[in-house]
Amino acid sequence: MRKSLYFLIAAALLVSACAKNTQDSANASAKAYFDAWIKVNYPDLKPTPLGAYVIEETEGDGALVGDSEQSKYIRVDVTSTDLKGNISNTTRASVAQQLGNYVETNYYGPVMWMREGDALYAGVDEAVSTMRVGGRKKTIIPGWLFSQQRYDNAQSYIDNVTGTDAIYDIEVVEVIDDPVKWELDSISAYLSNNYPSVSITDSLKYGFYYIQEKEPSDTASFVNDTTIYINYIGRLLNGQVFDTNIKDTAKFYGIYNASSKYEPSSIKYKKEEYTEITMGSSESSLIDGFSYALWKMKSFEKGTCIFYSKLGYGTSSSGNSIPSYSPLRFDIEIVKQP
C-alpha cells in the first residue's frame, strides 16, 4: 500500500514539474511517469545508452549479434508485456498455455527478425545488439524507443517519438546471414528426412520441389479454362497443418471450423500461364508455388510440393499460422475433372 501510494505521489510530482515544459519534449509527462515507475520498481537498475533498463540477462555462448551489419537477420523467441505484466504477444507455446489463451492453429516457435534498414524498433535493436546466440534478456523499453527512425542520442528519441512502454523478454536462437540459404537448407534437411530419394538439386524451378505420390491416369495437360477439383493439405515443415479442405484432416489437426465447407475446391486451369490459375467461384488468386504445382499436375494425379517462402508468403506472415520466411508443403490430389 505504501509503495503504491509513494509511486502515485512521485509520478504526480514529476508530471506536475514537467507540465510547464511540454513544449520542450513531446514526452515530458510520459518520461516523468516512466522514471517514477522505474524508481519505485527497479531503483537499482542503470539505463542503457538509449535509456532502456535490463531486468535480467542470461549470457549466451554463441556468436555476438552486434549491429545490423554483423547480423542482418536473427531468429528469436520473444514475449512482450506492458509495465503491469499483461502479455501482448508471445512466440512461446508454454507461455500461451499458462495464460490459457493457447490456440492450436497458431504457430509457436522462433520467428525471423530482419535488422537491415533499421527494420527493428530502436529499443529492441539495442537490446539484441549486445546479446549472443543462446542468450536471453528481459528489457524495459520506454515508448519513445519504439521507432524505426534512428537518432544520435537518447534525448532526441524523447523529443521526437511517442509510443507505449513495454517489457521484452527475448531469446536469440540463431543469427542468419542469408534467409534464402537458410530456407533452402531447411528444405534440404526436410527432404533428406522425409524424401531421401529427392535431392536439393532436383528442383523444378528455384526453391520448388515436387514429389509424385500417385501417377496420373493421363499424361496430357488439361485444356485451357478446364475446371478441376482438388483436395489439399497445407503445412509448415515442422508438421503443423494450417489449411485443408478435408473435414477429417481438419478435425485431426485441430483446425476444424464448423462454418467452413469441407469439399473439393474448384480450380480453373490455365494452360498458357500458371500464375493465372484461380480457385473457387470467386476465382481467387493463388500463391505461386501452389499454382505452379497445379500447372504441372495431370489427370487424377496426387503429389506433394515443397517450396521456399518467395513462392509463398515471403517476408510477410499469413495470419497467426504462418510466420514470415516460411517454406511450405502442400499435398494435392485431383479428385474430379471433366
pLDDT surpasses 70 at 104 = yes
Is-same-fold flag (45-176; 179-336)? Answer: yes
- Report helix, strand or coil for 29: helix
pLDDT digits (tens, 9 = 90+) for 211-261: 999 999 999 999 999 999 999 999 999 999 999 999 999 999 999 999 999
Q: For the ranges 4-18, 128-142, 162-176, which has the lowest average pLDDT? A: 4-18
Residue extents of the structural domains in the chain: 1-43, 45-176, 179-336
Q: What is the mean pLDDT of residues 307-331?
A: 94
- Report helix, strand or coil for 34: helix
Q: Tell the residue number behind the cell numbers 535493436, with chain if given.
A: 125
- 143 contacts: CB under 8 Å, gap ≥ 6: 27, 30, 34, 161, 162, 163, 164, 165, 166
* pLDDT given for residue 3 in this prediction: 46
Q: What interhelical angle do 28-41 and 2-19 show, nearest 10?
A: 160
Q: How many residues does the chain have?
A: 338
pLDDT interval class at 23 (50, 70, 90): very low
pLDDT digits (tens, 9 = 90+) for 182-205: 999 999 999 999 999 999 999 999
- Top CATH class of 45-176 equals alpha beta
CB contact at 8 A, 90 and 96: yes
CATH topology of domain 179-336: Chitinase A; domain 3 (3.10.50)
